[in-house]
Structure 1
Amino acid sequence: MVKRRHFILLTGIVILLIYFIQELPDRLKHDRVKYANEVKELHPILAQKKEELKMKVKKKGIAILITDDYRSAAHQDKLYNQGRTSEGRVVTNARGGESYHNYGLAIDFALRTKGGDVVWDMEYDGNKNGRADWMEVVDAAKELGFEWGGDWPDFPDYPHLQMNFGLTINDLQKGEKPPGQG
C-alpha cells in the first residue's frame, strides 16, 4: 500500500514537471516579448541621432541608407528562423524580445553609391579620400554615442548600430525603460 502511494505521488510529480517544462518556453517567451510588444517605433533620441548621423556623413560625401530600425518581436522571430527553419542564411542569433531593435534602440545601415546602388561593401571609398566609407560612418556613429555591432567578438554585425542607455536586454525584458521612453 505504501509503495503504491509513493508510486502515485511520484507519477503525479513527474506529470507536473513535464507540464511545467513544456510550458516554460512559452512563459519565458511571453515575458521576453511583453515590453518589446509595447514599443512600436524608434526611440526619440535614437531617431534624432539617426538623422544627425546621416547629415554628419553627408558632409563627408557619404550617403547612407537606414535599412532597418524598430523591429517587432514577431519580425525578429521571422529573422531568427531564417537559415534555421526557413530558407536563407542565418542573419541573427536574437529571437523576438532579445534584440535592441525590438525596443527601438538599434538601426542597421548600408552605403549608397554615387549611382544610387545600395552596398554593404566595407572597403568602398566613394568619397575618394583613401578611407573606407563604412568605417567613416562607424566612427561618426560612435562619436554620436552609438555602439557598433562590428565590435562584437562572437557574432559581429557590421551594419548594426545601437544605443542601449546602459540597459541590457535582460533589463529591457524585465520592463526597464530607457530615458525618454514612456
Structure 2
Amino acid sequence: MNFSVPRPDPCCDASIPMTPFRGAVLLFTGLSKSGKTSLASGVRSRLMELSVPCYVLDGDIMRRGLNSDLGYSREDRKENIRRVAEVAKMMADAGVLVLAAFIAPYREGRQFMRQLLAEWGYLECYLKCPLEVCEKRDPRGLYEKARRGLVENMTGISAPYEEPEECDLIIPTDSLSLGESVDLVMDFLIQKGIIKAASHGAD
C-alpha cells in the first residue's frame, strides 16, 4: 500500500489567512444555571444565519473530555480555565468566533483569559442572576445537595463566585427572556465591530 506525505496544515501557519472572518472570544460567565449555555447557543444560531464561523465551547462538555482529570478545587478551576483559554486562542487564530460558556468563578482566571486573548479580541459577558433563581432552575438539584453538604466546592454555596469588576456586558437573565438576551449580545457584537469585521467581504 502506498502512502502519500500530507502537505503541511495551513492552520499551523498564522500568517496564512484561513477565512475572511475575524476570530474573537466571548466569555459567558456566571453562576450555574444562570443561562450561559442557552445564551451561547442562541447567539450561535443567530451568527450561523449570518454565515459567521462560530463555536460554543461549553464547560460541561470540556469537563467530560479534555478536562476530565480536573476537580473543583481552586487550583483545578484555575487549570480548567487555562486550558479553555489555550483552546479558544487556537480557534480564534483560525478565524472562529468562540462563544465560551463557563462559570469561571475567579477574577484571576478571567484576567488570565483577557491577557492571553487580547491579541485576538476578548470580550466578557456576565450573566447576572440571583442565586435563588439559579437554584429554582437546577433540575439536578446540585444546589440543594450542596446545602446538605453532599456536594463540595459548589459555586455560590460552598465556593465563591467573584463578580466581574471589568466585564464588557452585563445581562440580567432573571428579568430578560432568552430572545432579548440574544438581541443584546448581537447588538453588542455589532457595536464592538466583531460582526461587521467578520461579515466584511463574505458576500
- TM-score under structure 1 length normalisation: 0.24
More helix by proportion, 1 or 2?
A: 1
* Larger Rg computed on CA atoms: 1
**Higher-RCO chain (CA-CA 8 Å, sequence separation at least 6):** 2
TM-score (normalised: structure 2): 0.22
